[in-house]
Amino acid sequence: MSDENVARVGRVAAVTGAAQGIGRRTAEVLTAEGYAVAALDRQPVTGVAFAATGDVSDESAVAGFAAAVIEWFGRVDVLVNNAGVGTAVPATRETPEQFRRVVDVNLNGCYWMAQACGRVMQPGSSIVNISSVLGLTTAGLPQAAYSATKAGLIGLTRDLAQQWTGRKGIRVNALAPGFFVSEMTDTYPDGYLDQAIARVPAGRKGEGAELAAALVFLASDAGGYVTGQTLAVDGGMTIT
């Protein structure tokens, strides 16, 4: 990108895990909202202003991505920490390698990315961590690693907000989505989603546009007085 084009860039959003599912929808919505989106994923990402291939659990890949975004655009205004993996393995059979992999991506990777972007973000910037209702409740599958990391991400969100909002002017919040159709839900056992939806007062799965609206609120100036919070977008599942 030329210096002239860099000067024309408005707000820049970095999105991890943007190749599919919630991450892809996030990249599309933020692009429609006028953000220049920079995406990082282990798989190729199309339809964004800038894309890199890498694993968020690799600190060097994260640092390289953040440096490239700054070189390309000159700024990062919004970070959406979406990259995540899950397992559904009974606790007595889950291997150390399986558990560590989930922690490395879902929690450590979010921290490395927040660190890298937090060092260069300017006052008025926003970080949105994608947690899960499974960080707040259980839903019938054996997901110790996934639930633990999503709960840990909520704690990380609070602490980074406490550290950075007053001193650096960076707001940090979390979204806790309920059940939205994605590649991850495609791997659930037959009948599991129907059983889980029975717990949801709204009586249905979420629509992508509903989650996107909540994310845009937290990312944008509309949410300027909101920090350190976890917003559950779950059809009421966490109140049952």
Active site residues: 146
With vertex at residue 61, the alpha carbon angle to CA 57 and CA 63, rounded to the nearest 5 degrees, is 105
Q: What CA–CA distance (Å, rounded) separates 41 from 203?
A: 33
3-class secondary structure, 229: coil
Backbone phi, psi, residue 207, to 5° = -95, 145
* Cα distances (Å, whole numbers) of residue 26 to 79, 190, 211: 11, 27, 9
3-class secondary structure, 18: coil
Q: Calculate Rg over the CA atoms of the chain.
A: 17
Whether 175 contacts 128, CB under 8 Å: yes
